[in-house]
Amino acid sequence: MNKTFIFDLDDTLIRTQHLYKFPQVELASVIENKLGYYAVNLSEISGILDEMEKKNLDFFNKEKNNKYSKERYPKSFEDTFKYFCNKHNLDYTQKEINKVRSIANQAFNIKKEIIEDAEEVLNFLKGQGDELILYTKGDNMIQEEKIRINQLYQWFPKKNQDYFIVNDKNVNNLKEIIDKEKKRNFFLVDNSINSIGLAYLVGINGILIPFETWWHESNKKNKTKKEIKKDFLKKSLFYDEFKTLSDIKTNYNMIKAPPEQLILTFSK
């Protein structure tokens, strides 16, 4: 039976993490120039920005029902700038606030960032007769633009419902994607151990291709990779960690769920 591969987008098929780091350097420069004599080190600015991001993640999740809204990141930059100004009793203008927000918005200047071997692997899987599904979280308009600019429609045509953009990844929306009759042939490919954990929970296979994850994910208490693999094997599911996307092609014949009746024992 043919396989179905469910691919994550950000930092699995395209590189995006760095797009959010460049504006942070410019924000720090603006804050340092504003503070002058009161200038602080970069780690303090980064720490406050993280705090503002946590606060706004909660706010947008509760009030807007979308913690990955495009508005959240500029607001965190604005709140960070205001924090240091207020701390040192420095006045600021709306022009300065607009500048800070425009710096944050640079993260959304989307360019073609498709990973080098992604096209080869996606073409190979299509050639095998496998189904490809894109499963990504974030602001709908931003994710749509990433798909368009990176020309991913050729593998994930919208008209066939071959991609899903969600506010956040969870068991419920992953279940909606899966054909229960064929789920032992579904493979979730993701760079985040948290997302791979969802595959185990819904009873499908997982392929982890590690890459730096968002700070609010990496700060979560995760199981070790050994524990994750043990979980998958207990359910007679396939799990492996690959270094690159091309490893999917190289190891294609071994990517399959083990027999359901397989009984495994694990050393402590």
The reply to whether 126 and 246 lie within a common domain is: yes
Using CA atoms, how far apart are residues 215 and 67, in angstroms rounded to an integer? 14
pTM of the complete model: 0.87
Q: E strands of the chain, at which residues?
A: 4-7, 131-137, 163-166, 186-190, 205-208, 239-241
pLDDT tens, per residue, the chain with 268 residues: 799 999 999 999 999 988 888 999 999 999 999 999 888 888 999 999 999 999 999 999 888 778 888 999 999 999 999 999 999 999 999 999 999 999 999 999 888 899 989 999 999 999 999 999 999 998 899 999 999 999 999 999 877 677 899 988 999 999 999 988 889 999 999 999 889 999 999 999 999 998 865 555 554 556 777 888 889 988 999 999 999 999 999 999 999 988 875 544 444 3
Residue 262 domain-assigned (yes or no): no
Are 88 and 209 in the same domain? no
- Structurally, how many domains does the chain consist of? 2
**Residue 257 and residue 205 in contact, taking contact as beta carbons nearer than 8 Å:** yes
| Inside any domain, residue 261 | no
Q: Are residues 121 and 11 in the same domain?
A: yes
Q: Identify the domain containing residue 10 by its residue range.
A: 4-16+113-254
Examine the domain organization and report whether 130 and 238 are in the same domain. yes
Inside any domain, residue 45: yes
